[in-house]
Amino acid sequence: MKTLERAFENARKEGRPALLGFVTGGDPSLELTRKIARSLVDGGVDVVELGIPFSDPIADGPSIQSSSRRALQSGVTPFAILEMAEEIVNDLDVPVLLLSYFNSIFRRGTDEFLTLAAKSKVSGVIIPDLPVEESGEFVKIARRRMIDTIFLATPATPNDRLEKIIGSTSGFLYLVTIFGVTGAREYVTDSAREVAKRFVQRVNGRIPVAVGFGVSRPEHVKLFWEDGVDGVIVGSALVNIIEKTIGDEPSMLGELTKFVQSLRAATKV
């Protein structure tokens, strides 16, 4: 059983959604990102998602854009993040995903990037700007390296294209329930919940479904779990904690752990 599959299966056995935590690699430094990852895992994150900073992250809102700028200004490179990913896997025994825009991969070469990712024990890669229709070569190489390629579906995804995505994605389906970019939100709309229910019904257990973009409160986790999703992805809310506590490492790490604990406890009866 692959590591992502095991993470979702273990969460399901415990009667809760898998919790995936996103942070930008190198924000505010590589050394602190390692400590942040430990804080997230201590709080109950099942999967750590590391963003490779990019100068034009089209799918990301202000919080993650700012974190990318801070990471780039600190001189972080994709390959430093790959090395860190291996350290996190070895030290914390948790699956690590990479989120990268395709240009960062293309510049190095798909085969070389995925070879390095495999050596770094990366479980999966999310590429927001790689359409499923143009992903054949990437998916083929990734499968040879035993790396999952995770595709996104949105409220605008028609059923015929969703079927193509379901057939190509592995690890899980990344479901975006809202239009727009990433960012912490105050509440979950009825329309977002309807999107989640519709996609869960359409997927019908063929692949785990994880909801991202805007999940930022314990009650959000509870609502989407009630709607049938298998996992939730939290990013901007974590990045916001990092940003507001830069310069106060103990507060940062403590707040991150406490916040994740609140998300993890959201579905407890």
> Which residues are part of the catalytic machinery?
49, 60
Backbone angles phi, psi at 79, to 5 degrees: -80, -25
Alpha carbon 133 to its chain centroid, in Å, reads 22
CA–CA dist 141, 113 (Å, integer): 10
Q: How are beta strands 96-99 and 209-212 bridged, if at all?
A: unpaired
Q: Which residues pair with 47 in a beta bridge?
A: 20
Q: How are beta strands 173-176 and 152-153 bridged, if at all?
A: parallel
DSSP assignment of 167-233 equals HH--S-EEEE-SSS-----S---HHHHHHHHHHHHHHTTSS-EEEESS--SHHHHHHHHHTT-SEEE
Burial (0-12, 13-18, 19+ Cβ within 10 Å), 250: exposed
CA-nearest of 82, 168, 162 to 123 is 82
Backbone angles phi, psi at 218, to 5 degrees: -55, -40
- For residue 120, the 8-state DSSP code is T
CA-nearest of 13, 122, 100, 109 to 51 is 100
